[in-house]
């Protein structure tokens, strides 16, 4: 979708207006009586939308919301979701949102525009490349009308960048696993390369030379080679320490020798959504030309029960030198991540955030509304939580107490890769925390938020981008 900023509601196919201003807009277009009839016959309520069809341009007035001149952030979000839903089925090519119509409590024009564009991005996303008959979206451009030029232009630039990042994250997640394997992830990341972006790939031979025994244990049973993909964006000051984002990229997860049940197996193509989201966040940061140094790492592998597959009770040596007794081969995400975390140290990062569809326990604990947030640094935890609230891509802080660590004790190795059913999301985070000592680190378990039955949500790309925006603002 293309976004634009304008000071005036120029000729457009659809003009989106607030209900309390609808009569004035209609009268200016010579449609006052028709609008009066429409308003009388529809309910004034947040999240409601009604259309008035006109003979000229605009061809439609889309009226949203209640009668009050001011609204809350939550109600405005509902209004924009309703408008976006209507636009998704609109047959015109251009729409304009009269942003100045909306007065939102404790929210400025920039934030209002970002909320509106995020809603449009969500509603108009399509993934239909494998349909023999695909209905393309008719809408091509949405303009934001605001008297506040600088705020609108900035919001459009950031909204456009996030739209591209979300599209990349969702597309990667929605691809079938016979297409989206580790090599495909590497190829998609390679497309981000440019003047300030270098993309490199560590293959299995290099992993073996480095000593990534945990990563290689996951990929042992498949014929599709693993890749550790690294996107290095240098938008900040030369020599400044980067932020590192690491994503779990299991392109298909059978569970390995600990084979999953058939129920829900088809959803395991989404087990790479952590990697998809960090690549999406990198794409957004690059397109927005954020003044930050950023490393995005995708730990891409396939987990299959082949004849060479890792067995329960196998012991492997990680890149850190620590040994792990693999009690369950379906707890594979933490194995690729622990080696990726250790590798990330060579970048001397000022913050590291890993993202993974890591545990079913996260879904049990928080459902589909909030990602689980773990961190060993209070400032980083607050920054990520605040970014999630701002982007409405929320997370919930979970405990990372030392008392949980004993569940990972092994009589034969430095640790086990699982801690049993109790507190499964927490003990998984505790495992990763062992490899993040000395780092300013956070972990987002997005098993319940990264996808639905309708496909990839792109989460937490929006929260990560908001976190990077806030960090860039400090610069």
Residues classed as catalytic? 260, 334
The residues facing 352 across adjacent strands are 244, 441
Nearest to 294 by CA among 277, 282, 283: 282
Q: Are 44 and 76 in contact (CB under 8 A)?
A: no
**Which residues lie closer than 8 Å to 213 by C-beta, 6 or more apart?**
316, 317, 318, 319, 339
Question: Could you give the C-alpha distances from 420 to 42, 68, 417, 446, 460, in angstroms and in order?
Answer: 55, 53, 10, 20, 27
The residues facing 4 across adjacent strands are 143
Strand pairing report for 441-445 and 371-375: antiparallel
The kind and range of the H/E element at 118 are: helix 109-124
3-state SS class at 303: strand
Strand pairing report for 141-145 and 197-202: unpaired
The kind and range of the H/E element at 320 are: none
Q: Are 334 and 428 in contact (CB under 8 A)?
A: yes
CB-side exposure of 180: number of CA atoms within 13 Å? 27
**One-letter-per-residue 3-state SS of 216-253:** HHHHCCCCCCCEEEEEEEECCCCCCCCEEEEEEEEEEE
Q: Are 233 and 243 in contact (CB under 8 A)?
A: no
Q: Which string of b and e fits 338-348 if b means at least 16 CB within 10 Å?
A: bbbbbbbbebe
DSSP-derived secondary structure for 37-105: HHHHTS---TT-EEEEE-SSSSSEEEEES-S-SEE-HHHHHHHHHHHHHHHHT--SSEEEEEGGG-EET
Question: Angle, to 10 degrees, between the axis of helix 461-474 and the axis of helix 378-391?
Answer: 120
Q: Show the tokens assigned to 141.
A: 């451009």
Q: Distance between the two ends of the chain, CA-based, in angstroms?
A: 29
Check residue 278 and report its DSSP letter. Answer: H
Distance of alpha carbon 395 from the chain centroid: 12
Q: Are 241 and 350 in contact (CB under 8 A)?
A: yes
């Amino acid at each position: 979708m293309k976004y634009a900023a304008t000071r005036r509601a120029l000729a457009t196919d659809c003009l989106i207006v607030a209900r309390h201003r609808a009569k004035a807009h209609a009268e200016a277009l010579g449609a006052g009586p028709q609008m009066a009839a429409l308003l009388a016959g529809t309910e004034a309520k947040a999240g409601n939308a009604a259309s008035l069809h006109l003979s000229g341009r605009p061809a439609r007035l889309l009226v949203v919301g209640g009668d009050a001149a001011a609204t809350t952030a939550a109600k405005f979000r509902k209004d924009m979701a309703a408008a976006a839903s209507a636009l998704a089925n609109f047959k015109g090519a251009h729409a304009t949102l009269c942003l100045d119509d909306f007065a939102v409590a404790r929210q400025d024009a920039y934030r209002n525009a970002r909320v509106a564009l995020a809603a449009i991005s969500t509603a108009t996303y399509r993934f239909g490349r494998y349909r023999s008959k695909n209905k393309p979206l008719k809408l091509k451009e949405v303009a934001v009308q605001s008297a506040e030029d600088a705020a609108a232009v900035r919001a459009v630039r950031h909204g456009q960048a996030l739209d591209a990042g979300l599209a990349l994250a969702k597309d990667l997640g929605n691809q079938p696993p016979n297409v989206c394997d580790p090599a495909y992830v590497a190829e998609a990341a390679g497309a981000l390369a440019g003047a300030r972006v270098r993309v490199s790939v560590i293959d299995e031979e290099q992993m073996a030379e480095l000593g990534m025994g945990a990563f290689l244990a996951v990929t042992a049973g498949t014929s599709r080679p693993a890749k550790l993909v690294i996107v290095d964006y240098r938008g900040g000051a030369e020599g400044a320490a980067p932020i590192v984002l690491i994503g779990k990229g299991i392109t298909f997860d059978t569970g390995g020798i600990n084979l999953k049940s058939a129920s829900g197996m088809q959803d395991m193509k989404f087990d790479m959504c952590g990697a998809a989201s960090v690549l999406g966040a990198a794409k957004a940061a690059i397109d927005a030309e954020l003044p930050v140094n950023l490393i995005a790492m995708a730990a891409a592998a396939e987990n299959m029960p082949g004849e060479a597959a890792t067995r329960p009770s196998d012991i492997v040596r990680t890149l850190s030198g620590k040994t792990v007794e693999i009690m369950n081969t379906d707890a594979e995400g933490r194995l690729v991540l622990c080696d990726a975390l250790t590798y990330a140290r060579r970048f001397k990062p000022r913050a590291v955030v890993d993202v993974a569809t890591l545990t079913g326990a996260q879904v049990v604990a928080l459902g589909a509304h909030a990602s689980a947030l773990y961190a060993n640094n209070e400032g980083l935890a607050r920054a990520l939580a605040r970014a999630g609230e701002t982007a409405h891509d929320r997370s919930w802080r979970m405990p990372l107490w030392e008392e949980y660590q004993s569940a990972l004790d092994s009589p034969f190795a430095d640790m086990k890769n699982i801690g049993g059913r109790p507190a499964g999301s927490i003990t998984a985070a505790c495992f990763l925390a062992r490899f993040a000592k000395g780092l300013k680190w956070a972990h987002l378990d997005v098993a319940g938020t990264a996808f639905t039955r309708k496909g990839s949500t792109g989460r937490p790309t929006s929260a990560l981008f908001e976190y990077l925006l806030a960090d860039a603002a400090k610069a």
